[in-house]
């Protein structure tokens, strides 16, 4: 029977995954600070470990191993007996349409450089126990207002700009979004099928920022001036993942999710 450990008690992904996966599995959720002190024997009962915690300096600074919580955790073990789900980013890629797992790696910032370095280490260290997910933008609400949230989500920024009455200018890029509901389902299938490897996580469709905002709030849409400079546009190919987990991820599902966000 699968038993899941989620590292990152109040993170956006950790708290949403805990709520969703608990319907199907026994799920424990702890902070990194608590787990790093545990004896390795403690982890023998888990089939999968998902790390959703991150150090703020891992995001902002050049790579230093002391800020790499994934490596710090995995180095506790002589041999890893569980599947380890590593949350990577689409920002490791050179931007283009239909990016595959074999596409050119060109990290866009320190955060992406650091993530790719961590993935490279984990591939060598735990091999067929690693599930590395190169994730596009995930839409959803936070369960907890956590002061330690180091990442600003698209929806966080949306709510911030929505509060004021100013006209704002936004590049109308197309990106590859997916909802937290779709992401949760993907993780469920990965765990159930016990797959491993490196996968892009997306719905593999162009979604323009103007389109997304129109789904979430048509009133706010009127206060946005869209500029047709598509400097940060991309889509990820999800064919490798979908072939493994055999589910249907669609733009319509995302649209229906967005219409219920506010």
Q: CATH number of the domain at 27, please.
A: 3.40.50.720
Average pLDDT, the chain: 93
Q: Is residue 182 part of a domain?
A: yes
pLDDT class of 148 with cuts at 50, 70, 90 = low
Number of domains in the chain: 1
pLDDT at residue 64, as a whole number: 97
Residue 166 lies in a domain: no
Residue 79 pLDDT level (bands cut at 50, 70, 90): very high
The pLDDT value recorded for residue 158 is 85
Give the per-residue pLDDT at 73: 98
Grade residue 231 by pLDDT with cuts at 50, 70 and 90: confident
Q: What is the pLDDT of residue 1?
A: 72
Evaluate if residue 146 carries a pLDDT over 80: no
Where does the pLDDT of residue 123 fall: very low under 50, low under 70, confident under 90, or very high at 90 and above? Answer: very high
Looking at residue 150, what is its pLDDT? 61
| Residue 94 in domain | yes
pLDDT exceeds 90 at position 16: yes
* Residue 16 in domain: yes
Domain assignment present for 260: no
Where in the sequence is the domain holding 91, given as residue range(s)? 3-142+176-202+235-246
Confidence at 145, pLDDT banded by 50, 70, 90: confident
pLDDT > 90 fraction of the chain, expressed in percent and rounded: 82
Average pLDDT value for residue range 212-237: 89
Domain for residue 242, yes or no?
A: yes
What's the pLDDT score for residue 84? 98
Contact, 69 vs 59, CB < 8 A? no
Q: Does the pLDDT value for residue 230 go beyond 90? A: no
SS3 label, residue 48: strand
Q: Which residues of 183-212 are buried (b: 16+ CB within 10 A; e: fewer)?
A: bbbbbbbbbeeeebebbbbbbbbebebebb
Asked if residue 42 is part of any domain, the answer here is: yes
Going by C-alpha positions, the residue among 127, 137, 133, 136 that lies closest to residue 244 is 133
Question: pLDDT at position 56, please?
Answer: 93
Q: Is the pTM of this model over 0.85?
A: yes
Decide if 130 is inside a domain: yes
Q: Which run of H or of E encompasses 73?
A: helix 69-74
pLDDT surpassing 90 at residue 190 = yes
Instruction: Quote the CA–CA distance of 260 and 166 in Å, as a whole number.
Output: 24
């Amino acid at each position: 029977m699968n038993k899941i450990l989620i590292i990152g008690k109040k993170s956006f992904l950790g708290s949403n995954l805990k709520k969703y996966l608990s319907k199907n599995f026994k799920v424990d959720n702890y902070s990194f600070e608590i787990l790093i002190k545990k004896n390795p024997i403690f982890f023998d009962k888990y089939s999968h470990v998902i790390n959703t915690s991150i150090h703020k300096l891992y995001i902002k600074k050049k790579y230093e191993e002391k800020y790499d919580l994934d490596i710090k955790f995995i180095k506790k073990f002589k041999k890893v007996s569980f599947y380890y789900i590593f949350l990577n980013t689409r920002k490791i890629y050179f931007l283009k349409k239909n990016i595959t797992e074999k596409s050119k790696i060109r990290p866009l910032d320190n955060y992406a450089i650091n993530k790719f370095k961590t993935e490279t280490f984990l591939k060598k260290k735990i091999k067929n126990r690693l599930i590395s997910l190169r994730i596009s933008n995930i839409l959803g609400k936070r369960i907890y207002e956590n002061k330690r949230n180091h990442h600003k989500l698209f929806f966080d920024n949306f709510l911030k700009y929505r509060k004021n009455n100013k006209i704002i200018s936004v590049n109308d890029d197309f990106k590859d979004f997916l909802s937290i509901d779709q992401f949760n389902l993907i993780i469920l299938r990965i765990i159930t099928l016990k797959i491993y490897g490196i996968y892009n996580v997306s719905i593999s469709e162009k979604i323009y920022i103007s389109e997304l905002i129109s789904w979430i709030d048509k009133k706010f849409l009127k206060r946005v001036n869209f500029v047709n400079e598509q400097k940060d546009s991309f889509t990820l190919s999800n064919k490798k993942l979908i072939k493994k987990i055999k589910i249907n991820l669609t733009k319509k599902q995302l649209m229906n999710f967005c219409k219920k966000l506010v």
